[in-house]
Structure 1
Amino acid sequence: MLVSDIQAKLLIVDDLPENLLALEALIKREDRAVYKALSADEALSLLLQHEFALAILDVQMPGMNGFELAEMMRGTEKTKNIPIVFVSAAGREMNYAFKGYESGAVDFLHKPLDIHAVKSKVNVFVDLYRQRKAVKQQVEALEQSRREQEVLLAQLQVTQGELEHAVRMRDDFMSIVSHEVRTPLNGLILETQLRKMHLARDNAAAFTLDKMQAMVERDERQIQSLIRLIEDMLDVSRIRTGKLSIRPGQFDLSRLVSTLVETFAPQISAAQSSVNLSADSPVVGLWDEFRIEQVVSNLLTNALRYGAKSPIDVSVYVEGENAIVEVRDQGIGISEENQQRIFQQFERVSAKHAVAGLGLGLFISEQIVAAHGGKITVQSALGEGAVFRVSLPLAQNA
């Protein structure tokens, strides 16, 4: 805003209406607003409502005179900085000017008024007011700009932190992927080289039915590991783009979990663990069977991985309007801090233990359960095992 665009309000106080009109005509312009008061009380009311660039006060008024009004203005926070010009018809010998300056006046005019002097002085005070106002607005604008820059800087710092975190996650992800993919690939490569060597030496004994069966089983495990890694990465991509497919169908959750536990028999044996299953009653619901199997598989895999070779308890039951699947292990447990992040991408339960996988299982599981309108929670403490609890709503089946 230009200085000339700032409107100035002027206050004139005189107990004689004709004096007010005459002074108003003298100082009024299009870029100014002139307010008139016939008494000190009326002036005080206007002073509380408006911000004035200048107050012109008649000294000799009935009731509260101009000096008393000025002293009251100087004692009030809102009005103490308004320039005051006194006007008096008394002769100079009464020393009113000295008393006026003592009351806080910036100038003193004697009647009859010098038209050019009045106009000139009012112009000076109006210009000073506009300049102060413009400077104040500029300071406020600078302060607002500073605050906005601070907010922007804070946002940039947050964004920088997020970008750095994303870069670390990317680097961690690439490191994990390269390691996890290399493991089954190395196994397949070694098996292939070994077979090529036997073939080159015409060693038919290396390809007996029993040995071929063992080879195929090893190959199948490595291939399944690769498929699972790829599926996990694809699921993350689907989740990010909102394209994770959920195809509900009616099935018995208890039967699904029982079958899954039987399927996990080789992994359970390899982990030197055991599973106690409580899933006697049918729990029928409308869910995506493939996706729920994926969730329970992830929980069983984690329980075997971190269960410290202790027994694992798996339960399926109904609680209120929800179907519940609980997987409880007696392993290393999860700290409270880690409980806040294990459902994030590429997070491992414990950095102190060698673990396999991309750290995506719990992240994907939580997204799948959420897509069903349910939730997955964990209760744990270090050294006290962990209980993962999946809750799926039954209401949609009515």
Structure 2
Amino acid sequence: MLLSDIQAKLLIVDDLPENLLALEALIKREDRIVYKALSADEALSLLLQHEFAMAILDVQMPGMNGFELAELMRGTAKTKNIPIVFVSAAGREMNYAFKGYESGAVDFLHKPLDIHAVKSKVNVFVELYRQSKAMKQQVEALEQSRREQETLLAQLQLTQVELEHAVRMRDDFMSIVSHEVRTPLNGLILETQLRKMHLARDNAAAFTMDKMHAMVERDERQIQSLIRLIEDMLDVSRIRTGKLSIRPAQFDLTQTVAQLIQSFAAQISAAQSTVNFNPGPPVVGQWDEFRIEQVISNLLTNALRYGAKKPIDVSVYIDGDHAVIDVRDQGIGISKENQLRVFQQFERVSASHATAGLGLGLFISEQIVAAHSGTITVQSALGEGALFRVRLPRVQKT
């Protein structure tokens, strides 16, 4: 902003209207606003409303005189720095000038006024006011710029931390994916090489029906592992883009859980564990059956993985307007700190145990349950197993 753009307000106080008009005509310009007061009381009212570049006070006024008004101005924070010029018709022998300077005046003028002196002095104080105002605005602008830079720096630092975290997650993800994908692929490659070797040797005995069944089962397990990894990665992508589809339909949750546990027979046997489930009354509601099966499968897989070969208890029941699924194991448990992390991406229940999977199961499960307006929680302590509880509203909001 240019100095000339800063408008200056001037206050003139005199008990004679003709003196005010004459002085106003002398000092008024387009870039200035002149306020007139006929008494000290009027002047105080204006001083409280406006910010003045200077004040020209008549000394001899009825009631409160100019000196008393000046003392009041000097004692008030809003007005104490306003330059004051006294004007008096009294002769120099009255020694008013000395008293004026004692009252805080910056100058003293005698009537009749010297036109050039008045204009010159007003110009000086107006220019000083504008320079002070401009400097104050520059300081405020610099302070605002400093605050904005601090905010920007904080945002950049936060972004840097987030980027570093994202890079670590990417690196961890790629490391886990390469390891997890390699495991079933290595199995398939070894099986293929073994069969090629038998075929090259015309070893027909290696391809009996029993051996063929075993080969197919092994291949199927490896392929299912790959499919599971790929589906998990696709689900994460769908979640991030908000495209995880939920298609509610009415079904009996108790029956679905019972059938799912039966399909886990091979995994339960391989984990040398058992699953206790006593089906109760039907628990009917509106949910996406495929997605709910996905959640329960993830919970069962974790329970078998970390259950220390001990029995696992599963229950399904109604609690008010919600259906509840509990999966409880008696395994290694989860610390309080890790309970806050298990539902995050690429997190494992226990880093000290070598386990398969991308660490996405619980993250995906939580997103699926949230999409049903439900909740999934964990209660656990180290060495005391874990209870995962899923609560689902029985009727989905449309």
User: What TM-score range do you get, normalising by the shorter chain?
Assistant: over 0.9
Written as runs of structure 1 = structure 2, the 5 A alignment for 1:249-268 is: 249-268=249-268
Alignment CA distance shift 1:357-1:61 (3 Å): same
Structure 2 match to 1:348: 348
Cα-to-partner distance string for 1:91-137 (whole Å, 9 max, x where unaligned):
11222111111111111111110001101100110011011101111
The two structures, once aligned, show a CA RMSD in angstroms of 1.4
Query: Shift of residue 140 of structure 1?
Result: 0.6
User: Do 2:248 and 2:396's aligned partners in 1 also have CA atoms closer than 8 Å?
Assistant: no
Could you say which residue in structure 1 is the equivalent of 2:34? 34
- Measured in 2, the distance between the counterparts of 1:362 and 1:296 equals 10
**Alignment of structure 1 residues 105-144 onto 2, 5 Å:** 105-144=105-144
Aligned: 1:68 with 2:91:
no
Q: Hey, what's the Cα distance between the residues in 2 that align with 1:351 and 1:18?
A: 93
What is the letter of the counterpart of residue 209 of structure 2? Answer: L
- Corresponding residue number in structure 1 for 2:227: 227
Measured against aligned partners, the alpha-carbon deviations of 1:255-308 in whole angstroms (never above 9, x if no partner) come to: 110111111122112212211113321111121111110010000001111112
Change (3 A) 1:326 1:367: same
Query: Which aligned pairs between 1:1-398 and structure 2 lie closer than 5 A?
Result: 1-396=1-396
* Structure 1 position 209, deviation (Å): 2.1
Q: Which amino acid aligns with 1:88?
A: S
Residue deviations 1:308-332 (CA, integer Å, cap 9, x gap): 2221111101110011111111222
Q: TM-score, normalised by structure 2?
A: 0.97
Q: Which amino acid aligns with 2:113?
A: L
Match of 2:355, SS? coil
1:92 & 1:380 partners in 2: Cα distance?
A: 95
The secondary structure found in structure 1 opposite 2:12 is strand
Task: List runs of 5+ in structure 1 lacking aligned partners.
Answer: none
Shift of 1:187: 0.7
Shift of 1:58: 0.9
Contact 1:279/1:317 (CA < 8 Å) preserved in 2?
A: no
CA distance in 1, matches of 2:270, 2:76: 86
**1:73 partner amino acid:** M
- Structure 1 vs Structure 2: percent identity of aligned residues? 87
Q: Which amino acid aligns with 2:102?
A: E
- Deviation, 1:38, is 1.3
Q: CA offsets, 1:145-177, max 9 Å, x none?
A: 111111111111111111111111111111010
Distance 2:371 2:279 in 1: 24
Amino acid at match of 1:101: Y
Whether the 8 Å contact between 2:372 and 2:396 is mirrored in structure 1 is: no
Measure how far apart 1:206 and its partner are.
2.0
Per mean C-alpha deviation after superposition, the further-off stretch among 345-354 and 254-263 is 345-354
- Return the TM-score normalized by structure 1: 0.97
Amino acid at match of 2:169: M
Once the two structures are TM-superposed, the CA of residue 397 in structure 1 deviates from its matched residue by 9.3
Counterpart code for 1:194: L
Tell me if the contact between 1:286 and 1:397 (Cα under 8 Å) persists in the aligned partners. Answer: no
Is residue 285–residue 397 contact of structure 1 (8 Å, CA) maintained in 2?
no
Q: Structure 2: where are the runs of 5+ without partners?
A: none
Contact 1:173 1:346 in 2 (8 A): yes
How far is 1:16 from its partner?
Answer: 1.4
Q: Deviations over 1:194-240 (max 9, x none)?
A: 11122222222222222222111111110100010011111111112
